[in-house]
Each structure stands twice: as C-alpha cells, then as structure tokens.
Amino acid sequence: MVAGALGGGVLRALVSVRNPSLGHPPPYAARRIAHRLVSRFLRRDLSKQEAKDWAWTMRAVYGPLLGLAWGVARPSVARWPLVPRGLLLGLGVLAFEHVAFPLLRATAPMNTWTGEEHAWLVAQTAVFGVATEASLRALATP
C-alpha cells in the first residue's frame, strides 16, 4: 500500500506538467471524476472545494489499493527487471481504467477525448506503474 501511495505521489508531480501541457485538466483528472461520481451519488452539484477534497480522498485510496493488488500479483513476474514489471502494472491500470471509466460513467466518453489526452493517460499509468514498482522494490529489499 505504501508503494502505491508513493507511486501516486510521483503521479501528482506529473499532473503539474500534464495539465499545462494540455491547457486544461483531462476528462480523467481526479477532480473531474470525483465531481461526476460524487455529485451523482449525492444528487447535488459539488463545489470546487468539495470536488478537490473528494479527489484527494479518491487518490489516497486508489493508489494504495492498486499497490496492494500489485503486491499480490507481482510474484508471478518476480524475475523480470524493474521497468518491464512497472510497465506491466501501468498497462494493467490502463486496462482497468478503460473498463471502469465507461462502466461507471466516470468520464466523458473516451471517443470525445483528444489524442493528447489519450497519450497522457498512457504516460501517467506507465509512470505510476514504474514508480510503484520501484518503491515496492526499495521497500522490500532488506
């Protein structure tokens, strides 16, 4: 769970580059997802601050849970080098999000996203995967 939280922290740094690069937060930005999901659940529109708070909560849970799941699945690729293992985790997160976002209606439809938004999602899941794997390797090494 700690490794997933650290991977999420590295991802937060990437977001500070992603949003200015795009000129806006993408449809899968945590605040936008929080706003869509929580507003629907509470049946009221969230304020910007509420969406920001919920996004923080979602990130605080999501990264560690992904790290925990990876810790369970990781032994099956124990002999792989760090980067391929991290990229495999990133690919798994990307696949999960490609299924979960439409299923939960967490984002605008993916066919409305720009090519750059798709590319940034691939990049951020890859960065999360490699950072999480590196953190897990560092934490697990005596």
Is it the case that residue 142 has pLDDT exceeding 80?
no
- The span from the CA of 130 to the CA of 88, in Å, is 9
- The span from the CA of 11 to the CA of 134, in Å, is 13
Domain ranges of the chain: 2-140
How much of the chain exceeds pLDDT 90, in percent?
Answer: 92
pLDDT digits (tens, 9 = 90+) for 98-113: 999 999 999 999 999 9
* Residue 52: band (very low, low, confident or very high) from pLDDT cuts 50, 70, 90: very high
Q: Is the pTM above the cut of 0.75?
A: yes
Q: Taking residues 77-103, what's their average pLDDT?
A: 96
Q: Which one-letter amino acid corresponds to residue 76?
A: S
